[in-house]
Amino acid sequence: LEIRVARPGDESALARIVEAVRESQATKPKIQRFVDTVAAWFVPAVLLLAAAVAAAWMSWGPEPRFLLALTCTVSVLACACPCALGLATPLAVVAGIGRAAEMGVFLRNAEILEEVGKLDVVLFDKTGTLTEGRPRVAGAITLRGTEDEMLAWALACEERSEHPFAAAIVARAKERKIKSQPVDSFEALPGRGVLARVGTRAVRAGSLPWLREEGVAIPHDDATRFSEFGSLLGVALDGDLLGAFQMEDSLRPSAPAAVAALKEMGLEVYLVSGDRNAAAYRAAELAGIGTVFAEVRPEEKAGIVRRFQSEGKRVAMVGEGFNDAPALSHADVGVALATGTDVAIESADMTLLNPDLMTLARAIKLSRRIRRVIRENLAWAFVYNLLLIPVAAGVQYPRFG
C-alpha 318/C-alpha 222 separation (Å) is 34
Using a 10 angstrom Cβ sphere, with 0-12 exposed, 13-18 middle and 19 or more buried, the burial of residue 119 is: buried
Catalytic residue among 120, 125, 184, 222: 125
Asked if residue 121 lies in contact with residue 268, where contact means CB atoms within 8 angstroms, the answer is yes
Asked if residue 24 lies in contact with residue 107, where contact means CB atoms within 8 angstroms, the answer is yes
Asked if residue 255 lies in contact with residue 318, where contact means CB atoms within 8 angstroms, the answer is no
Count, in order, helices (H) and strands (E) of the chain. Answer: 16, 13
Strand, coil or helix: 319: strand
Q: Cα dihedral angle (129, 130, 132, 136), rounded to 10 degrees?
A: -110
- Rounded to a whole number of angstroms, the distance between the first and last alpha carbons of the chain is 91
> Is 120 a known active-site residue?
no
| Backbone dihedral angles phi then psi of residue 78, each to the nearest 5 degrees | -75, -35
Quote the Cα angle for 127-131-137, to 5°.
70
What sign for the dihedral angle of Cα 92, 268, 103, 163? negative
Asked if residue 371 lies in contact with residue 114, where contact means CB atoms within 8 angstroms, the answer is yes
C-alpha 229/C-alpha 279 separation (Å) is 8
Cβ-Cβ contacts under 8 Å for 50 (sequence gap 6 or more): 73, 76, 77
C-alpha 175/C-alpha 364 separation (Å) is 43
Report the catalytic residues: 125
